[in-house]
Amino acid sequence: MILTGRKVMGGKAEGEALVSTEPVSFYGGVDPVTGCVTEPGHCCCGENITGKVFVFPTGKGSTVGSYVIYRMKKLGTAPAAIINVETEAILATGCVISDIPLVDMLDQNPVDTIKTGMYVKVDADDGKVEID
């Protein structure tokens, strides 16, 4: 299955999907050293996003989140790519400065269509997501 959407940050990546039904804050909600979601009560609390294609509705929280994403990229704990229902500015900035492929506004809701554990290929240059 191929989904088509909007390129926010170009690039190509692939990997196992981790899907969150809830928005994600990278500042205070994700540990940049381990890559684990740490927000208490979050549906992905305890999950590791390192090297995954991280799928979630949108970002939330402080502008510091952009720099947390950048730190994760430098530490090797960042996701391989991010897919959102709709991206907000903090997340977009983080992915741009960190060179992490990011797409949103797909023709099908990725949170409903993609399941955790599926293998996903992201071609953000063309705004395409392939689900195996």
Among 89, 93, 86, 81, residue whose Cα is nearest residue 119:
81
* Active-site residue identified among 20, 25, 62, 98: 62
Q: Is 25 a catalytic residue?
A: no
What is the rounded CA–CA span in Å between residue 30 and residue 49? Answer: 9
What is the rounded CA–CA span in Å between residue 97 and residue 45? Answer: 25
Q: Which are the catalytic amino acids? A: 62
